[in-house]
Copies of this chain bind each other. A is one copy, B any other.
Amino acid sequence: MSAGHNTASDGQLLSIVQRIERLHEERKALADDVRDVYGEAKGVGFDPKIIRKLIARRAKDAGALAEEDSILALYEDALSRAGTRGEGA
């Protein structure tokens, strides 16, 4: 029956759940720190949005970055050939 003893497995599960919840809390605290730093950045005149982009770009290795940029250029070129926006002018 449900109530009554207290399996070893129960304790294990509780421990696991609590550890994960603890880690989530720590993660959240760090996320708040990040937010604070962005706030500070804005306070001294930097644009947080751009800083995000900058950091994202730094996180990718140079190869992947160039790859993405070049595909984007490729697509834009394809569109211009196919004739949107500005057709022949």
B-binding residues in A (CB < 8 A):
1-3, 5-7, 9-14, 16-21, 23-24, 26-27, 30-31, 33-34, 37-38, 40-41, 44-47, 49-51, 53-55, 57-59, 68, 71-72, 74-85, 88
Copies in the complex: 4
**6 extra interchain contacts, Cβ-Cβ under 8 A, other than A6-B82, A14-B79, A16-B46?**
A1-B80, A9-B78, A27-B30, A50-B78, A54-B72, A54-B75
CB < 8 Å neighbour of A16 from B13, B30, B37:
B37
What 10 pairs across the A-B complex have the smallest Cβ distances? A14-B82, A10-B82, A10-B78, A27-B30, A16-B41, A47-B78, A23-B34, A10-B81, A13-B78, A50-B71
